[in-house]
Every structure is written in structure tokens, then in C-alpha cells.
Amino acid sequence: MWYKEIVFYEIYLPSFQDSSGNGIGDLKGIINKLDYLSDLGIGGIWITPFYKSPKVDGGYDVEDYYKIDEEYGCMDDFDKLINEAHKRGIKVIVDLVLNHTSDKHKWFVESRKSLANPYRDYYIWNKKIPNNWESFFTGTSWEYDNQTDEYYYHAFSKEQVCLNWSNPKVKKEMFKVISFWLNKKIDGIRFDVINFLKVNMGLFKYDNTQNENKEQEHIYDMNQDGILNTIKEIVSFTKKWDNIFLLGEIGSEDLSTLNKYIGDDLLDAVLNFNIGSINKIETYKLAEILKETNKAIDYPTLFFTSHDTSRYISRLCDNNHDLAKVLAGLMLFAKGIPFIYQGDEIGMTDYISKSLYDIKDIRALTKYDVLYKLNKNEELSLKLVNNTNRDKSRTPMQWDRDKKNYGFSVGTPWIGNEGNSIDVEHQISDKSSMFSFYKSLIKLRNSNLVMQYGDYVSIINHQDVITIIREHNGEQLLCIMNLGNTQNKSINKEGVLLFSSLKIGSNNVEPYEFSIYHLQ
């Protein structure tokens, strides 16, 4: 399958490239940068939602599934983007949010009008709060609506209203949406929080439990009985189109849960949060994670950063470029589908919000609100919120580091450029840069069947070094990666050197060495 042969790149649309000068990334901006992506060797892009939206949650709050948000462009721009991407051999996957709509969506505007409204059952309403379920953005998941004196359910912000997937009409509407976009010649879909679909109203009577830290365990509000059947129906519907790649965001780090959603009649791949969510590099554990993932999942996804996390260079590498290269190497060598997040390839680092007024992420804002009500301490609330603030990775790509650094809301600049003032031109031209490292390794992967299809022969860890051997059709590659800053003498390197991040003069493994050998 083609998706095993390429490297993907995630575009967080509002922060990628602004072609119109309003401070917000747009579709034309992506077209402008297709040559850049092609030069990097990218074979597929995942674009975060571009549908008409109030953008309370960066577009994950859709107001109209059939329209392009005006700030992002128009349908012509979208068609042109697909065309131009395909001309360069770049596949395009779009992000579909089937779990919830914006509260501005016409279905919800209708639904809240009266108990008898034909759209009432598109959403989940209750006379009284039926359970203790909490929103994934903190606080209650039930919002009171005085128009009908009832509560509606929202797993995320109160502006993102959960659809009632036990209602066949909702399913039908969504099949229409899916066919509309597949007819536009997209190559795949990333299904947002697809295991959250509320398919089973019978479960709403049960309370979720708490763990020992008194945090809610999301037992009944995700992975509901019946969800696999619903996903099978969606998948089977998409089979009318050829060669479509279906990627699911399954909100879980548990390998057996993730694996449940993959299969011939299910999704092709899921986002592997068991790898993507790690927050500390311990070489031994990392090697174990690779082994366990390989046991559970045939072809996983590989990423360390997304628009929902901090940047791996800050979180895992303390902004050390040498280590960041080794981890990028791991992501591009290990078995799976690599997803590079915009900006990681030029070494962008985390942005830290300076005050409440500097926060744009709705999840962080909601959390701040809840915390501040409890502790009445601005500094403490900000500190706690900044642990998981998604703004960290959402600052604009540094195409022009001298330009005022706007975020994705018009007129509200991010404060300062801290850690993000990067010279892209220099990254592109300097042979020892982060960009050049990514580029040469992607080039190797793009032409190497062992890196695309090979199975693991071994994954061995010794001190800070991991060695991996992969094999395909009798051909073997050995990858040596040193995640530490000390020399290691214990590994014998044999074979033809295919890739090296360092000038290797001896048989020792050098600090932060990343090299690949073709075994004879």
C-alpha cells in the first residue's frame, strides 16, 4: 500500500503559511510551500480542518462541512491544492470531525429550538444531568440550555456539541459529507476522535470511575459497545473509492485498544499515542516500546509531536539538536508510517504562554478557568496549565523570522519569538542542519524497500545505544543510534555505510551517532 512507502507531514493549517497577510495560515499558503515539502521528500500531507468554523478549537468545531472557511480560502483553492499536490506526487489526507459539530452548525441551531424540532435527536439532550462524565477539556460535559430547559452533552468544549450516532439520520448525513470530500480526489481521511462516537445511549446512565489520583477514568464515554460496527459501516462506505487511506485518531495509549480499530474492514492505521505521548527519553524503555508496539500492531504510526502536544525537541531533547536528530532518525527508520509535524524539521521549539491573555488553546483556557476558581492564584494556574498547553507547538512556521509573529487569531500576536526565531533559508542550505538531516534520511527511506516494508530481525539496547536490524526480501539494514553523549565501544559495525549523521572515523559508536548500514 502506498501509505507504507511515504513520509507524511502534518500541517496545522492556521499556523502554516499565511498568503493573505491576515495572520492566519491558509490553503494558498500550503500551495506556496508544496515545493518546499517536495524538496524535503514529503509524500503525503495531513491538513487539519479547513471547514467553515468559528475556530474556537482551531477548526475542530465545524459549522459547515461543505464549505471552506473564508479565512482559509475557497473551494477553488482546495481543488487547486489537490491538483498541485498530486502533480508533485504528494498525497493529501483531510481531517474529518464526525464526533461533534460547532454549536453554530445549523443542525444544532435547530436542535436547541424545541423538544419537537426534527433535529433534536441529532444531539444528546437530557432533562437532568444523567452522569458524572467530565469533558476532555476539564469540567463538566453537560451544558444547560435555557431555550428548552435541558442539558446537552459535549466531550470537548461546550462549543463542540457531540452528535448522537445512535440516530441513523446522523450517520446518513455524515456519509454524505464523506462522499463529498472523497469525490474531491483526496487520498485519505484522518478521523478525529473516532472512538469517541456516542453510538450507545444505554451507557449514559452509568457513572465513570476515578483513579487513585482522583482523576476521572473515561470508561463509558469512549470505546462504547457498538463502536466497531459503526466504524465498519463507515469504512465499508469508503470502499467505493479506490486506494483511500483511513487513519483513525483513537484517544488511547493502550496497545490492545489501539489495535482493536485496525483491520481489513476497519481502519488502515491509528495514531500511536503509546509512542507519541512519551514525555521522557529512557533508552531502555524506548526500545521496549518499539518491541511491544511491534508485537501488537502490524504497521503503526510514528510521531513524537502533533498540534496537540509539545514539540519533541523541547519535551524530550531539552532543545538539543543532536538528540533531536537521533529521534527523527528513529522515527524514519523504525517500522511504521512517520508523521513529521510542521516546524520540527527546522528545529522549532516550544512556545510558553506568558499570561492568561496570551493563551489561545481552548483546552488550556478551560483548564485555567477551572483551576483559577479553585486556587485564585494566576501564577500557579498558568504554571499548571502550561504543562499541557497546546499552544506550545502551534506558533506559526518561521518562514520569515523578522515578520511580526501572529498567531491564528487575527490581531492577537504571540508575545515574542522565544525559541522560535529560525532562519529557514539557512536550514535549507546548511548541510549539517536539522532540515538537511531530515531531508537526506527521507530520501533514503523513499527509495529503500527495507525501510518501508522490512520486518524487525532484532531491536537491541545497550546503555544509550539502540541497534535495529530490519529485513525485506533477504536484504538487511542495521541502524545504530546513540541517544547519549558518551562514546560506546561495544558494537561491531559491519556492512556498507548508507547513512551517517557524523563523520565516522572508528568502529566506536560516537555520541549521538545515527547511522545505517547495509548488511552483506
Quickly count: other Cβ atoms within 10 Å of residue 187's Cβ.
Answer: 21
Whole-angstrom distance, CA of residue 81 vs CA of residue 91 = 11
Q: Which is nearer to ligand TEU, 19 or 138 (CB)?
A: 138
> Taking CB under 6 A as the criterion, which residues in 26-45 touch ligand TEU?
none
Q: Which is nearer to ligand TEU, 308 or 391 (CB)?
A: 308
Q: Are 230 and 199 a contacting pair, CB within 8 Å? A: yes
Q: Which is nearer to ligand TEU, 157 or 420 (CB)?
A: 157
| 3-class state of residue 96 by DSSP | strand
* Residue 57 touches ligand TEU, criterion: CB under 6 A: yes
Among 31, 47, 68, 193, binds ligand TEU (CB under 6 A): 193
* Residue 163 touches ligand TEU, criterion: CB under 6 A: no
Whole-angstrom distance, CA of residue 388 vs CA of residue 108 = 30
Q: Please give the sequence-ordered ranges of beta strands (E in DSSP) within 73-220, or none if there are none.
A: 91-96, 100-102, 125-126, 142-145, 150-153, 160-162, 188-191, 209-210, 216-217
Among 51, 60, 108, 438, binds ligand TEU (CB under 6 A): 60
Among 119, 136, 341, 406, binds ligand TEU (CB under 6 A): 136
> Taking CB under 6 A as the criterion, which residues in 461-480 touch ligand TEU?
none
- Whole-Å CA distances, 145 to 115, 129, 213: 12, 12, 32
Whole-angstrom distance, CA of residue 389 vs CA of residue 359 = 8
- The alpha carbon dihedral of 115, 118, 121, 124 has a sign of negative
| Nearest distance from C-beta of residue 362 to ligand TEU, angstroms | 7
Q: Which is nearer to ligand TEU, 97 or 480 (CB)?
A: 97
* Residue 192 touches ligand TEU, criterion: CB under 6 A: yes
Q: Which is nearer to ligand TEU, 63 or 510 (CB)?
A: 63
* Active-site pick, 69, 143, 187, 192: 192
Burial 290-305 (b: 16+ CB within 10 A, else e): beebbebbeebbbbbb
- The alpha carbon dihedral of 255, 261, 263, 268 has a sign of negative
The pattern of x and - marking residues 236 through 255 that bind ligand TEU according to CB under 6 A reads: -------------x-xx---
* Active-site pick, 61, 77, 249, 308: 249
> Taking CB under 6 A as the criterion, which residues in 414-443 touch ligand TEU?
none
Please state the three-class secondary structure of 311-368 as a single string: CHHHHCCCCCHHHHHHHHHHHHHCCCEEEEECCHHHCCCCCCCCCHHHCCCHHHHHHH
Q: What share of the chain is helix, strand, coil (3-state, %, to 5)?
A: 35, 20, 45
Q: Count of residues binding ligand TEU (CB under 6 A)?
A: 12
| Nearest distance from C-beta of residue 81 to ligand TEU, angstroms | 21
Assess whether 249 carries a catalytic annotation.
Answer: yes
| Cell numbers representing residue 216 in the block | 476521572
| Nearest distance from C-beta of residue 262 to ligand TEU, angstroms | 17
Q: Which residue is closest to ligand TEU by CB?
A: 251
Among 7, 31, 97, 397, binds ligand TEU (CB under 6 A): 97
* Residue 391 touches ligand TEU, criterion: CB under 6 A: no
Q: CB burial class (10 A; 0-12, 13-18, 19+) of residue 112?
A: buried
Helix (H) or strand (E) holding 174, with range, is helix 168-182
The pattern of x and - marking residues 139 through 158 that bind ligand TEU according to CB under 6 A reads: -----------------x--
**Cα–chain-centroid distance for residue 59?**
14
- Whole-Å CA distances, 278 to 274, 309, 477, 483: 7, 10, 26, 15
Burial 483-505 (b: 16+ CB within 10 A, else e): bbeeebeebebeeeebbebbeee
| Nearest distance from C-beta of residue 61 to ligand TEU, angstroms | 7
> Taking CB under 6 A as the criterion, which residues in 280-319 touch ligand TEU?
307-308
Q: Which is nearer to ligand TEU, 136 or 499 (CB)?
A: 136
| Nearest distance from C-beta of residue 361 to ligand TEU, angstroms | 9
| Nearest distance from C-beta of residue 273 to ligand TEU, angstroms | 6
Q: Which is nearer to ligand TEU, 315 or 335 (CB)?
A: 315
Q: Which is nearer to ligand TEU, 65 or 512 (CB)?
A: 65
Q: Are 69 and 53 a contacting pair, CB within 8 Å? A: yes
Assess whether 345 carries a catalytic annotation.
Answer: no
* Residue 509 touches ligand TEU, criterion: CB under 6 A: no
Whole-angstrom distance, CA of residue 210 vs CA of residue 219 = 10
Quickly count: other Cβ atoms within 10 Å of residue 426's Cβ.
Answer: 12
Residues of this chain that interact with ligand TEU (CB under 6 A) are: 57, 60, 97, 136, 156, 192-193, 249, 251-252, 307-308
Q: Which active-site residues does the annotation give? A: 192, 249
